A and B are shown apart, each in its own frame.
Chain A
Amino acid sequence: MQEVKGHALLTNEVGLHARPSVKLTQLAKRFAATVEIAIAADGPWTDAKSPVKIMRVKAAKGETLYMRANGADAEDAVRALADLVNRKFDEE
């Protein structure tokens, strides 16, 4: 199984804050693949399906969010997550 990677810039006003975190984890949970995020290209990696862990990352506006996924639908998962970040979590 191939690991799929991607990244997107957090441009929404509040960063990976409460509401965006919930949206991100809800989206990640739709995929069977393991999905992780990080704020550096080489990690540390955080489970994108856990809002508690995502909030611990405290990713702020202006940071690059890196994603990686492993599993059958890994490519779709990374694309969907990057899309959500690029759409500013549909909030602005």
Chain B
Amino acid sequence: MERRIRGRAASEGLAIGPAVILRALEGAHRTKGSIAEEHAALAAAVAGAREAVADLTASLAGDAAELIGFQLALLEDDALTESAYARIERGDAAEDAWRAAMAAEIAGYESADDEYFRARASDLADIRDRVLRHLFGLADDGRLPDGAIVVARDLAPSAFLGVDWSKGGGIALGEGSPTSHVAMLARGRGVPMVVGLGRDLDSLTGVLLVDGTRAEVVIGPSPERMALARTEGDELRHRKAEAIARQHEPALTRDGTPVTVLINISGPDDMAIVPARACDGVGLARTEFLTANLLHDEDAQYRAYAELMRWADGRPVTIRTLDAGGDKPIPGYTVDGESNPFLGLRGIRLSLRHPDVFRVQLRALSRAAALGPLKVMLPMVTNAGELDAARGHLRAVLSDLAKERVACSEPVFGIMIEVPAAALAAQDFAADFFSIGTNDLTQYATAASRDGAEVADYADVLHPGVLAMIAHVVRAGAARGVEVSICGDAAGDLRAIPALLKAGVRALSVSPGLLPQVKAAIREIDLAKLGEGA
């Protein structure tokens, strides 16, 4: 008897295969033996992890191979296990000894001043968990069977990279988010993935059908459904290949209306997903990589922005100023203990309260603006006064830079529209452009949290009320003679694109992995047939 569980769509497509449960390490248990046995158990686990990683290295290329190559070098080094063995000699169980040794190692990385070193802590955590999996006899994440449906609470990017997805397979996660790194990887590789299936993972056994387009997992699908899914899956793959083949061509609707397709960039990895010439520029570059100690480092920021400008090679690049707060805390910068952080101090509200930090970023951005068409976007703007205040800081910074004879240029200065009150008053904002952040706009307008699985269905960008706000912003932009684009997930949501174009939107900024399909979807749309445009 087939059974369906609904989740959230993280990567489209259909996959059928046997479920392989990747159990969480929490709750795993083994019985402690003698000192010699514990010693041997850890040695065997490290050797097992090392072999799995070595196998992986051989099958990967580029960044993924490098990440794993570093892990292999550490696993081959006796210095990594020294203190764990010492603990075992003192009577610790192998898993406790290993965890303690790795905790000390990870703490060392995390305490580094340098961002590059701190980021490597995640590699160490990966190594720790990999060895623990071997120690507990759990299916090793480096050796998941090909073609299987990986069932887990959550999945680490390295575990994803350890699977040969060319043989098929899919992912079903109890938790997770469509915006996670692993979801992005899955979309990039075309691996169907559904997240947020709830805690009841144990029922996900036998043959599973993961439908990443309809956001559901079918347990024990009927032969008819499987046949249907296979046909549909083949069609999807075919369409995708075609879309990629045409990704460099401009996106024109059937009736010949050009639509600007930009990409969202969260970090350097995103620049490798599509070539710059396939997009019309960067519609949203996030600067949340600015951790506490980079907030004051103008040169480090400038280098990051300059790299983006070089990559875009003359295409416009929209960089959002620090959007901390909400679900993105920065110790010492954001406010702790807010009862509702999404309705608290975030985005521009925080920037205006930390003018010293804000001006460092505006300086770095103004310097990078000398390299090409750079646009600065302010997040979470609610009142026209905030835009005026931010512009005041920009003018001061430009005047300082001019006095110091530092090369700079005045960036185009626009706002993100994500607060409903600002959407409905867009005509009152003297911004150089509007970019609609549909994720927050939708959650604020529908009073439904972005992350709450229970209310996910309410947070629908296609709600007529949300679409009316978007159409209003488009009209306000036209009246003021400024560009309007969409940079939220809706821009890459094939279901939402017709409605957005109908509302008058002509610029979409999407995750780089989605660019080919978004362009293909635009080419299918006939605006004349959609009825009244804006």
Contacts and interface: CB of A to CB of B under 8 A. Distances in A.
Given A19-B66, A22-B69, A22-B70, A14 B77 contact: no
B69 A50 contact: no
Which of A14, A22, A52, A56 has most chain B Cβ within 10 Å? Answer: A52
A61 B120 CA distance: 16
A52 B70 contact: no
Nearest to B81: A52
A50 B120 contact: no
A87 interface: no
Interface stretch (B109-117, B269-277, B341-349, B386-394): B109-117
Interface in B80-124: 80, 105, 108-109, 112-114, 116-117, 120, 123
A60 B123 CA distance: 19
B228 interface: no
Given A50-B77, A52-B77, A14 B109 contact: no
Given A18-B123, A22-B69, A51 B116 contact: no
Contact of B114 (A19, A25, A58): A58
A22 B73 contact: yes
A58 B105 CA distance: 12
Contacts, number: 50
B110 to A, nearest CB: 11
A26 B77 CA distance: 11
Given A17-B120, A19-B66, A52 B74 contact: yes
B77 A51 contact: yes
Contact of B73 (A15, A25, A60): A25
A61 to B, nearest CB: 8
Contacts of B105: 52, 56
Contacts of B70: 18-19, 21-22, 51
Interface of B: 66, 69-70, 73-74, 77-80, 105, 108-109, 112-114, 116-117, 120, 123
Given A18-B120, A52-B74, 20 more contacts: A14-B116, A15-B114, A17-B116, A17-B120, A18-B66, A18-B123, A19-B66, A22-B70, A22-B73, A25-B73, A25-B77, A26-B73, A52-B77, A55-B117, A55-B120, A56-B105, A56-B108, A58-B114, A58-B117, A60-B113
